[in-house]
């Protein structure tokens, strides 16, 4: 089992990749739908599904061409089974299972957050088990103790909005385009520190949970205070940058402080940061500083693998495959599996990471 094709289609990015068990990542390709959804200020699920249908086969062709191989060279296909938008997931799942069936090779369902969580292992140096993972994406904010592939213990998570959602919603309130996280970070770089202070909900809650929904209300109030209707409703650019700066500071403060608390609580010395918000430079700077002060190591995926991509799914598939008994994976086994299941496959739009071993 050497060459794994990965397919990611959980939200608004179609990603494909080829990962080789010995040679590493051979090729990856991505199409982002950001511009298409941008017109609507957020992801439109039906448009997302249709675009995945348009993109997925050309993107599979692109990675096989880049890697100089053909479909029959592929030994298994990993795909994102959930969580995510059901229509979008169905596109990746159906293509993966149909191709796997026709090639008579295994199809491996992958949990999207497991892909994120393992993605720093694609880099060199890579963390070693066990480590703490701070998973920060558009839909999740979780602290997880990772003892090995498939061994994930949830230490804390958001009780309402995710960190990425807080970035995106605040960005929208400041008139920035979708997806707002990177836009807000860019604007924050021009902001003056200390002009505004926004709340840091649950900072001192004594546990490892997060809450971000109050932040957008505070940003909303601040933005309105500085854009009185009587003056035409516009906030000047410097004030928007100052508010963006304060917003980023509040989110980064809470994320960093809880991540440090998780390291202290478990006594572990390695932190992995994954998911789209892991691309945030301010968060990285804060954690790097803390790592050198407190003597722990922090790992990030390559910037291009922080946000959704096919490489993390192919890689997670390769690691999952290594755990299987070899005799269950031979050619022909998949056909038997499909016949038994009546050619059914399913997706899991809502899926708890801790339940993955029980579900598979």
Neighbouring residues of 69: CB distance < 8 A, sequence distance ≥ 6: 3, 18, 26
Instruction: Sort strands 13-20 and 107-111 into parallel, antiparallel or unpaired.
Output: unpaired
How far apart (Å, rounded) are the C-alpha atoms in residues 189 and 142? 26
What is the spatial distance between Cα 196 and Cα 249, in angstroms, rounded to a whole number?
Answer: 10
| Letter string b/e over residues 167-200, b meaning 16 or more CB atoms within 10 A of that residue's CB | bbbbbbbbebebbbbbbbbebbeebeeeebebeb
280 binds, among ligand KG4, Zn ion, none (CB under 5 to 8 A by kind): ligand KG4
Q: Which helix (H) or strand (E) holds 153?
A: strand 151-157
Q: Considering only 124-132, 201-209, 222-230, 308-316, which stretch makes contact with Zn ion by CB under 5 A?
A: 308-316
Confirm or reject binding of residue 248 to Zn ion (CB under 5 A): no
Nearest to 284 by CA among 293, 292, 273, 268: 273
Select the residue interacting with ligand KG4 from 15, 127, 138, 191 (CB under 6 A).
Answer: 138
**For residue 220, what are its two tokens?**
């909303």
Binding at 167: pick from Zn ion, ligand KG4, none (beta carbon under 5-8 Å per type) = ligand KG4
For ligand KG4, the closer CB: 9 or 270: 9
Structure tokens, 41: 């200020």
| Least spacing, CB of residue 324 vs Zn ion, in Å | 25
Q: Smallest distance, Å, CB 72 to Zn ion?
A: 31
Q: Which of Zn ion, ligand KG4, none binds 180 (CB below 5-8 Å, type-dependent)? A: ligand KG4
Q: Which stretch binds ligand KG4 (CB under 6 A): 91-99, 119-127, 136-144, 346-354?
A: 136-144
Is 33 or 64 the residue whose CB approaches ligand KG4 more closely? Answer: 33
Residue 137 in the binding site for ligand KG4 (CB under 6 A): yes
Asked if residues 46 and 87 have their Cβ atoms less than 8 Å apart, the reply is yes
Stretch that binds ligand KG4, among 181-189, 197-205, 231-239, 256-264 (CB under 6 A): 181-189
* Beta bridge mates, 142: 135, 157
By beta-carbon proximity to ligand KG4, the closer residue of 137 and 158 is 137
Considering only CA atoms, which of 310, 360, 309, 342 is closest in space to residue 101?
Answer: 342
Per-residue binding string, ligand KG4, 303-332, x by CB under 6 A, is ----xx------------------------
Number of residues in contact with ligand KG4 under rule CB under 6 A: 19
Query: Applying CB under 6 A, does 133 fall inside the site for ligand KG4?
Result: no
Distance CA 182, CA 186 (A): 6
**Cβ-based nearer residue to ligand KG4, 82 or 276:** 276
- For Zn ion, the binding residues (CB under 5 A) are 137, 308
Q: List residues binding ligand KG4 (CB under 6 A).
A: 11, 137-139, 164, 167-168, 179-182, 185, 275-277, 279-280, 307-308
């Amino acid at each position: 089992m050497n060459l794994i094709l990965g397919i990611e289609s959980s939200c608004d990015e179609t990603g494909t990749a080829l990962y080789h068990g010995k040679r590493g990542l051979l090729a990856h390709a991505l199409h982002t739908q950001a511009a298409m959804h941008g017109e609507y200020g957020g992801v439109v699920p039906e448009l997302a599904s249709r675009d995945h249908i348009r993109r997925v086969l050309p993107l599979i062709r692109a990675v096989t061409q880049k890697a100089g191989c053909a479909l029959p060279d592929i030994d298994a296909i990993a795909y994102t089974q959930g969580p995510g938008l059901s229509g979008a997931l169905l596109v990746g799942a159906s293509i993966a299972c149909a191709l796997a069936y026709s090639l008579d090779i295994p199809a491996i369902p992958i949990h999207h957050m497991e892909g994120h969580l393992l993605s720093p292992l694609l880099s060199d140096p890579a963390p070693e088990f066990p480590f703490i993972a701070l998973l920060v994406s558009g839909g999740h904010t979780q602290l997880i103790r990772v003892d090995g592939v498939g061994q994930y213990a949830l230490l804390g998570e958001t009780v309402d909005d995710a960190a990425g959602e807080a970035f995106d919603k605040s960005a929208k309130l400041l008139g920035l385009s979708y997806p707002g996280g990177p836009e807000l970070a860019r604007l924050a770089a021009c902001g003056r520190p200390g002009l505004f202070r926004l709340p840091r909900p649950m900072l001192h809650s004594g546990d490892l949970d997060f809450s971000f929904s109050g932040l957008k209300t505070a940003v909303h109030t601040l933005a309105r205070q500085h854009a009185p209707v009587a003056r035409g409703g516009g906030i000047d650019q410097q004030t928007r940058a100052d508010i963006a700066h304060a917003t980023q500071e509040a989110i980064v403060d809470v994320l960093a402080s809880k991540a440090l608390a998780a390291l202290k609580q478990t006594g572990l010395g390695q932190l992995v940061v994954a998911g789209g918000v892991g691309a945030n430079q301010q968060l990285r700077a804060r954690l790097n500083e803390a790592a050198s002060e407190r003597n722990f190591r922090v790992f990030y995926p390559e910037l291009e693998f922080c946000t959704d991509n096919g490489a993390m799914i192919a890689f997670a598939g390769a690691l999952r495959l290594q755990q299987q008994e070899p005799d269950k994976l031979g050619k022909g086994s998949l056909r038997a599996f499909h016949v038994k299941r009546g050619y059914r496959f399913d997706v899991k739009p809502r899926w708890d990471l801790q339940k993955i071993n029980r579900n598979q």
